[in-house]
Amino acid sequence: MANDIRSLCVYCGSSDGYVAAHADAARDLGRHLVENNIRLVYGGAAVGLMGIVADAVLARGGSVTGVITEHFDAAGITHSGLTKCVITPDMHSRKAEMMQHSDAFVALPGGIGTLEEVAEALTWAHIGHHRKPVGFLNVDGFYNPLINMLDQMVASGFYRQEQRDALVVAKTPKELISKLQSAVWPDVTKWVR
């Protein structure tokens, strides 16, 4: 096992989504986190898939760190059961806090906010700012279009094959955690020659 993952940052929809399998996957991931003694780090809200994954962890006695902005906190969507709540002045410091508290990052199905967060985690690995694993829980192929886009970047000489290969893609939470534990970023510069 290359990585001892004690805390996992989960990026996911602040909406429930229309597909029951996506909510089921959020619940299932929460259960696996507790079974593997991994703390959940996430955006701190009680809404959408975010609330579902947090509820699943808390219901089983697991530990949850929520990192939320003053703006969202004032809107009254902060989860009331968080083990630890960090309130930040803005989105930039929120993402930095989430990164700092986490040993790895994953995206579940979600919208543009989820995409932005996981893209930042990937970009920062890409430029060597961190070496923590990044993965996608690819429920029912939800992330296939994005993975195809990354392959297109590789084929066009804008993204390294080695980095694409080090990115974790898994269909189930069990597979996801196992792959994150063994994932290693390559020692390559970001520029494709």
Please tell me the distance from the alpha carbon of residue 47 to that of residue 91, in angstroms, as a whole number. Answer: 17
User: Shortest approach of ligand AMP to residue 42 CB, angstroms?
Assistant: 6
Under the binding rule (CB under 6 A), the answer on residue 34 touching ligand AMP is: no
Structure tokens of 114?
Answer: 């989820």
Q: Is 113 in the site for ligand AMP (CB under 6 A)?
A: yes
Q: How far apart are CA 6 and CA 158, in angstroms?
A: 33
Q: Which residue in the set 5, 8, 14, 26 belongs to the binding site for ligand AMP (CB under 6 A)?
A: 14
- Exactly one of 5, 23, 33, 45 binds ligand AMP (CB under 6 A); that residue is 45
CA distances from 113 to 15, 38, 59, 152 (A): 11, 24, 26, 23
| Residue 118 CB contacts under 8 Å (≥ 6 apart), including other chains | 11, 105, 106, 107, 134, 136
Tell me: does residue 65 bind ligand AMP (CB under 6 A). no
Residue nearest to ligand AMP (CB): 113
Q: How far apart are CA 23 and CA 27, in angstroms?
A: 6
Nearer to ligand AMP, 10 or 160 (CB): 10
**Contact status: 114 vs ligand AMP (CB under 6 A):** yes
Does 12 engage in binding with ligand AMP (CB under 6 A)? yes
177 forms part of the interface with ligand AMP (CB under 6 A): no
Give the number of C-alpha atoms closer than 13 A to the C-alpha of residue 114, restricted to the C-beta side: 22
120 binds ligand AMP (CB under 6 A): no
Residue selected from 8, 25, 33, 50 as contacting ligand AMP according to rule CB under 6 A: 50
Query: Closest Cα to residue 50, out of 75, 18, 17, 19?
Result: 17
Specify the residue, 15 or 93, whose C-beta has the smaller distance to ligand AMP: 15
Determine the interface stretch with ligand AMP among 6-14, 124-132, 143-151, 181-189 (rule: CB under 6 A).
6-14
The interface with ligand AMP within residues 144-173 (CB under 6 A) comprises: none
Q: Between 47 and 169, whose beta carbon lies closer to ligand AMP?
A: 47
Number of H helices, E strands in the chain: 8, 7
Instruction: Check residue 105 for interaction with ligand AMP (CB under 6 A).
Output: no
Residue written as token pair 């399998």: 21
